[in-house]
Amino acid sequence: MQAVKLNANQKRSLLHAVESLPSPRKDEASDVVVLVIGQGQALVGRPRTQRRAANVRDVLRWVEAAVDGYSAEGLRPMVAGLSAVEGSLLDDAGFDEGSPDEPGALERSRIEYELMLRESLTLEEAAKDLHVTTSRLRQRLSHGIRSIFGIKDGRRWRIPKFQFQKRGQLVRNIDKVLPHIRPDAHPLAIKTWFVTPHPDLVAGEDDKPVAPRAWLAAGRPVDAVALLAEEV
């Protein structure tokens, strides 16, 4: 195994990530913990295995999706291949490296959705950040109002972070856009739409496409985004 020396910032980030790691559910195996360590940052997670043996291919795909999701924030992973001895140990333990083929779109979407859930705020955390009660936040999450977007994960609410401009503050006017998105739209489709440059939202002298989230954050007209939100 390869030892990695961490600087002070990396140690603090790693400790924070480990401490914030949620406990596994009763229907999940908890043998696998993934660490992605970069310059001053660390990512920790348990890929969901649904009571089946962990598969090295699944874990590596989880790491790949995690790194992709955090690449915009400057996370630089330290990647090392498996040695012959490590590969043998994994084989003896019943782990299967599987085929080197790239993951399909459906599987990658599943991984990305899991990551979005894991980095989302709990109802209590979001209510505290927004300085409202949990009851008030539940009202805002209802289909009749939906001035904030949440995902029901079992019996718990998860509040995705993409709709926050900074801690304790939602993206400007996003509450006026969310009601225009159909109630049955997939959560991952909603997030992807908000963070992906849209050809009908252009800004600057070069008419460069801007993502709906960035458009709203910059204080540009909300009506254009609200109308486009009906396509999600």
* Residue 68: pLDDT over 70: no
Q: Where are the alpha helices (DSSP H) in 45-141?
A: 56-70, 84-92, 105-119, 123-130, 134-141
**Which amino acid makes up residue 102?**
E
Q: What is the pLDDT of residue 85?
A: 47
Of the candidates 195, 184, 134, which has an alpha carbon nearest to the alpha carbon of residue 159? 134
Indicate the range of 27-36, 212-221, 223-232 predicted with least confidence: 27-36
Q: What is the pLDDT of residue 173?
A: 96
* Residue 220: pLDDT over 70: yes
Which tokens sit at 90? 């994994």
Of the candidates 90, 117, 112, which has an alpha carbon nearest to the alpha carbon of residue 25? 117
Q: What is the pLDDT of residue 190?
A: 95
What are the structural domain ranges in the chain?
A: 8-118, 120-231
| Stretch 75-97: mean pLDDT | 45
Which residue has tokens 């709906």?
212
Q: What is the pLDDT of residue 187?
A: 93
| Stretch 58-67: mean pLDDT | 58
Comparison of pLDDT for 216 and 88, the residue scoring more: 216
The length of the chain, given as a count of residues: 232
Q: Is 10 helix (H, G, I), strand (E, B) or coil?
A: helix
| Residue pLDDT, tens place only, 127-147 | 999 999 999 999 999 878 899
Comparison of pLDDT for 206 and 62, the residue scoring more: 206
Classify residue 143 by its DSSP letter: T
| Stretch 213-230: mean pLDDT | 95
CA distances from 5 to 2, 45, 70, 153 (A): 10, 20, 21, 37
* Residue 17: pLDDT over 80: no
